[in-house]
Amino acid sequence: MKTQIMQWVDDQKDEIVQSVAALVHYPSVSPHEGGTGGVKKAQYIAQLVEKLGLPQAEWHNAPDEKAPEGYRPNLIVRLPGATSKRLWIISHMDVVPEGDLALWHTDPFTAVVKDGRVYGRGSNDNGQELIASLYAASLLTKRGIQPKYEVCLCFVADEEVGSVYGIQHLIQEGIFQKGDCIVVPDGGNDKGDFIEVAEKSILWLEFSVEGEQVHASCPDLGLNACRIANVFAVELDRALHGAFPDKDSLFNPSVSTFEPTRRNSNVGNVNTIPGKETFCFDCRILPSVNVDAVLNVVSQVKNQVERAEGGSISFSILQRTDSTLPTPSDAPVVRLLESSLREVYGFEPVIGGVGGGTCAAFFRKEGIPAVVWAHEADVAHMPNEYCEIEHLLNETKVFALMMVGME
């Protein structure tokens, strides 16, 4: 059956490609980023669901006063399976703004199909996976093949701006269950061999160092905030890496990282000693490390440097996202995806973690195993975004094999 399924997908190539192209024509930028939301795109998808012979889409609307219609749509399409176990494939309908139009070679919201690609905003992120999941389910329905699991295709709003009106809304509605298998096809690589099962915690800190500004010719009359900041940054870097040397082979790099990043402008001329310095650290912390323990070390170093150098140091948390427990590498959803990837690509998938956050974390927090996988070019959010047609077809095959339970 697997050979037939893959041939059936290839036979539908033109129709699948045109459906991705059609999706591009519906700008679905968040109203919180100046867009109109995704109602028109959701209506198109609901019509496509009906055209493909799938069960009618359920609408789960999240109230949003900034949206022209007063809500943000989320769609669910359910395909009964031979067992009660549920396989969810969750893609998002919203897209990021087009950015500087001068950098685009074509209209961002008018799809162009050429050279084996579909160009347009949202073609890669996340239209490719949305259409692949729909056609995988349609393929089985049209040929009378019952999936092994209940297949639940979910098309959500708001992924690009926090998922409050999308995944988080559906979780609050109680849509998902502990035993569900969750696939979030919204991150991957150009080979398609990486299955993400874990994330590091994210901690962004902004430090403000107060000294006393004076003329550079008489430094003894002031307190150089730049020097204090330099000492503090170096001492903090050493202390954090020394306190948290843990390694986890799921990740690359395998350690927690604590990186000084942005530094704000202090004074506008060379001959002034700055009285204030502001800079940031970006911390990506292994799941085994407690974020509060990191903050305790930050406070200790702050106090030590203040005593040694003078001045005052304060800090604020710009972002904190604590990681959840990883999805076990032998979880059913991982095994199912691994098996399907072997069938389609013939390689051994790589299971690992990432340094940034993904929507899978919302499910892991609820104790539901979730994986992130996609076969996509690294062009999301860029001008001239595109999806590779070969990747699109391969994803359709992988999803279809998962649905029939190719373990």
Q: Which residues are catalytic?
A: 94, 159
The dihedrals phi and psi of 102, each to the nearest 5 degrees, come to: -65, -20
C-alpha of 362 from chain center: 11
Taking only Cα atoms into account, the Rg of the chain, rounded to an integer number of angstroms, comes to 25
> Which among 124, 181, 182, 131 is positioned nearest to 358, based on CA atoms?
182
As a residue count, the chain comes to 407
Contacts of 48-56 with CB under 8 Å at 24 or more apart are 48/19, 48/134, 49/75, 49/77, 49/134, 52/134, 52/135, 52/137, 52/138, 52/141, 52/142, 53/138, 53/141, 53/142, 54/79, 54/134, 54/137, 54/138, 54/141, 55/79
Instruction: Please state, as a whole number, how many other Cβ atoms lie within 10 Å of the Cβ of residue 244.
Output: 20
Q: Which residue has the tokens 């076990």?
A: 328
Report the distance separating Cα 126 and Cα 23, nearest Å: 10
